[in-house]
Amino acid sequence: MKNEQSDHIERNIQTFNLLTSLLSILNQNNENDTDFIIARYFLDHLDEIKNTSIYTVAEECFLSRSSVQRFIKNIGFDSYTQLKNGLDEVLNHENGFISYTDHAEFRNYLSDRIIEMLRDIEETSSSNDFRHLAELFTQADRIIILTAEDSSSACRLFQQQILTTGKLVRILTSASSNISLLNSLNEKDLLIVCSVTGNFALAIDRQLQEIRARKCLITVNKTTFFQNTYSFIYYLGRKLQINSRNIVSSRNVYNNYGLTFFFDLFFHECFLCYQKQH
């Protein structure tokens, strides 16, 4: 088991996807802010950082080395070396985007894949597992949805939708994690981890081990690795076959569109439960 976990053992919620963390800093800060300057430097020099020292980064950003070190700590990395390893993963992430779009008849290919995905998710949502997840959701005291930052838009929309039933949901992402909140959860609370390919769930698995809430995973990754961590696993679809205990660069229509469609269906199911109770 130790060897099987070695690919993700050093990762955690905050460092899961360095690219989204850097882009979030770019989106949230003014151009003259120190964090903005450093984040932009890393984004502008992704291909060069592997052979660039922290002294060079500080010099070219016109900042002190301590400022760069503080930035690195603030985004969850223990050292500049660890951050550079994270940048390697950013490059792999970019290759995933290229593979996703590198089709000669992309429009037809994309349309066909989306239609297949919609049918798959819709058919799967007719299962008892789907209704069971809705029951767990409506019965929980507190509900936290934990997801990678680049998958959070569908979760945030659902957060607004479900408020119409009086249910308050909190969203935590890889760019805005609150470990103290997770540690405060108890057996009456529900933690839903959204990880379509399973990469995010693999990265944060060790951090979730001691959390006392009922833990549910939404994924298409059918590895048995998750069975020791989660009390309930909902498979988003049945047709896409992923079975991996390693974090791999992968992009598909389930990544890009699956959660949005799923949460629309799930909101409807929760709304029906709410109507029955009232």
Q: Where are the beta strands (DSSP E) in 56-213?
A: 143-147, 169-173, 190-194
pLDDT band (50, 70, 90) for residue 264: very high
- The fraction of the chain above a pLDDT of 70, given in percent, is 94
Confidence at residue 10, expressed as pLDDT on a 0 to 100 scale: 43
Range in 45-49, 114-118, 188-192 the model is least confident about: 45-49
* pLDDT averaged over every residue in the chain: 88
Last residue of one domain, picked from the residues 51, 70, 100:
100
> In this structure, are 69 and 128 located in the same domain?
no
> In this structure, are 204 and 242 located in the same domain?
yes
Last residue of one domain, picked from the residues 48, 75, 100:
100
Confidence at residue 11, expressed as pLDDT on a 0 to 100 scale: 54
Range in 68-72, 93-97, 188-192 the model is least confident about: 93-97
The total of structural domains in the chain comes to: 2
As a whole number of angstroms, the distance between CA 167 and CA 270 comes to: 10
CATH code where residue 72 lies: 1.10.10.10
pLDDT at 120 over 80: yes
Confidence at residue 14, expressed as pLDDT on a 0 to 100 scale: 63
As a whole number of angstroms, the distance between CA 234 and CA 156 comes to: 19
Q: How many angstroms separate the most distant Cα atoms in the chain?
A: 64
Mean pLDDT of 102-108: 91
Mean pLDDT of 32-55: 93
> In this structure, are 128 and 85 located in the same domain?
no
Q: Where are the beta strands (DSSP E) in 121-263?
A: 143-147, 169-173, 190-194, 214-219, 232-235
CB 246 within 8 A of CB 7: yes
Mean pLDDT of 207-230: 93
Confidence at residue 93, expressed as pLDDT on a 0 to 100 scale: 73
> In this structure, are 245 and 117 located in the same domain?
yes
Determine the structural domain holding residue 40 and report its residue range. 2-100
> In this structure, are 84 and 182 located in the same domain?
no
CB 195 within 8 A of CB 210: no
CATH code where residue 123 lies: 3.40.50.10490
> In this structure, are 181 and 268 located in the same domain?
yes
> In this structure, are 69 and 44 located in the same domain?
yes
pLDDT at 83 over 70: yes
> In this structure, are 247 and 117 located in the same domain?
yes
Confidence at residue 115, expressed as pLDDT on a 0 to 100 scale: 97
What's the order of all strands across the beta sheet hosting 232-235?
169-173, 143-147, 190-194, 214-219, 232-235
As a whole number of angstroms, the distance between CA 126 and CA 118 comes to: 13
pTM for the full model? Answer: 0.82
Q: What is the pLDDT of residues 5-28, one digit of tens each?
A: 333 334 566 667 788 888 889 998
pLDDT at 151 over 50: yes
